Structure 1
C-alpha cells in the first residue's frame, strides 16, 4: 500500500460522528495496519483516518495537517501516533499545528532496538497471533524497519498544550516502559496507562479491545470537557470527568 494512501473508517449510517482520529503509523507500517482499530472506533461513531509511516515518507505530515484543517471532518480532532508516529504527532502538536485537540501516543520509542529475525520482531511487536499473521502476510509491511533509528524529532512535551493519553505495554522490549515513563514524567497534561502483558504495538496487541476501550473513554472525557467549556451555564460540581475504572489487565499510572 503506498505511503500516500489514507485508510478510512466512518461512523455507522444514521449516527452523528463524535470526532476524528488521525493515525500516524510506526516504522514499517501503513495505514491499513490499523483496520481493526479503525473499525472498532468507527463503531463508536468516531471517524478514523490512518496515514503511513512518516519516517519513510515525510509527506505524511502534510497529509495530517490537511486532515486537521479539513472542516468536513468533525471535532474534536485527535492525533494518534504509534511507535515513531507518536514522536511525529508530538512534533505537530509542539509546532502548534492548527486543529490538534488532543494526542494519543502508543509505544513511544525511546532508543535503538535490533531484531535477530522476523520471528523475534513479530513477537516483540505484538502478542496477538492474528496480528502477527497479518503482518507476516502483508506485502505492504516493511520487515526490519523498526531496527532503524532515523533522525527523529525530540519529544518536546513542554511545548504541548493539549491533553495527552499515553498507552504503553509493560512487556515492551522495543521501548521499555521505564524509559517511556521518564519522558512523560513531570508533564501534568499526560495521562498514562500501562497494559500488563502488553508489547510494543499497543493498539494491535492481544489487549487491543482494552486499548480501544481506554481510547474511547479518553475521547468521551475530551468531548465532555469541551462541552463544559462551551456551555458556561453548566457548573462543575467538583467532580472532574475522566477515566474512573480500568480492568485489572491495565494500570492507570497518572
Structure 2
C-alpha cells in the first residue's frame, strides 16, 4: 500500500479509482476500523464516477501507533490534508468532498470550522456531537459490542475476525480528543458554512441521533438523512446501498 509521511511514521492509504472521476472523497474512518472495511462503499462511489481516498489513521490498520490511539485531532487532520494535496496534484480542479465517520467525523468538522475552503461539500456519519456516557467515567478501557455497530453479518464478521479491526482498546487519547470536540461544538458548530450531509442510524446507541437532529434544525448548511433501524456504522449497515445512494445524490448536487 502507498503511504503518507508523518513525524509519527508512515500512514497507509487506499484509493478506489473511478474510470473518469467527476469528484473525489477524502475519508477518515472511526475507532477500531481501517480503510479495508470500506471496499463496498468505494465501489459504490466508483460506479457513480466518484473517487474514494481513505487513510488508516494512527493506531489503526497498517499505520503505526498504540492500538486505538489516533493521536490528536491535528494528527488526523494533517493526514487528511496530505491526502487532499495528493488528490489535487493528480486531478487538478476536481471537486473535493471531505468525509469522516465517528471520530473521523469530529476531525472533519474541525477542519471545516477551521476554514477548509478547498472542499466543495462534506459528509459525516455516526457523528458523536455530544458526550458519550461510556467515555465519561475514570475507566479508560473502551469495549464495544459489535451488535451496537451494525446488523450486517458480513461487516460484524469482519470486525470479529479481521486482525486489523478491533472493538476494544484503551480510550485515553480518544476521550481526550472527543472532549475537545464536545467543548467546541456548542459554540462553533452553528457557524458551519460548508454544505454538509449527515447520514445517521436512528438506532445508533453510541452517538444518539437526537443531537444531530437538533443541530440540523439550527444550521442551514447541515442536512440530515436518517436510516430507520440502522446502528452506529451506518456506512456498513444492512442499508449500506441506500446510505451510499443518499451520499452519491448529495455529492452530485454539490458540483
TM-score (norm 2): 0.78
Q: 1:68 aligned to 66, 72, 84, which one?
A: 84
Question: How many positions carry a matched residue from both structures?
Answer: 219
Between stretches 195-204 and 143-152, larger displacement belongs to: 143-152
CA distance in 2, matches of 1:117, 1:25: 17
CA distance in 2, matches of 1:44, 1:92: 26
CA apart distance, 1:3: 7.6
Against the structure 1 CA distance between its residues 99 and 146, is the aligned structure 2 distance closer, same or farther, given a 3 Å change threshold?
A: farther
Against the structure 1 CA distance between its residues 49 and 145, is the aligned structure 2 distance closer, same or farther, given a 3 Å change threshold?
A: farther
Q: 2:48 aligned to 23, 37, 44, which one?
A: 44
Larger helix proportion of the pair: 2
CA distance in 1, matches of 2:163, 2:78: 25
1:142 aligns with 166
5+ long unaligned stretches in structure 1: 224-254
Larger strand proportion of the pair: 2
CA apart distance, 1:63: 2.0
Cα displacement string for residues 153-209 of structure 1 (whole angstroms, at most 9, x for unaligned residues)? 233323322101011101111111112222333001111100011100111111000
CA apart distance, 1:121: 1.6
CA distance in 2, matches of 1:57, 1:103: 23
- Aligned residues: CA RMSD: 2.5
Q: 1:194 aligned to 211, 226, 233, which one?
A: 226
Aligned partners of 2:190 and 2:218 also within 8 Å: no
Against the structure 1 CA distance between its residues 145 and 23, is the aligned structure 2 distance closer, same or farther, given a 3 Å change threshold?
A: farther
Against the structure 1 CA distance between its residues 3 and 206, is the aligned structure 2 distance closer, same or farther, given a 3 Å change threshold?
A: farther
SS of 1:149 mapped into structure 2: helix
2:64 aligns with none
CA distance in 1, matches of 2:199, 2:190: 19
SS of 1:142 mapped into structure 2: coil
Equivalent residues in 2 for 1:12-23 (5 A)?
A: 12=19, 16-23=20-27
Q: 1:111 aligned to 123, 131, 134, which one?
A: 131
SS of 2:154 mapped into structure 1: helix
1:32 aligns with 36
* 2:26 matches 1:10: no
2:65 aligns with none
* 2:207 matches 1:175: yes
2:250 aligns with 218
Against the structure 1 CA distance between its residues 146 and 53, is the aligned structure 2 distance closer, same or farther, given a 3 Å change threshold?
A: farther
2:113 aligns with 94
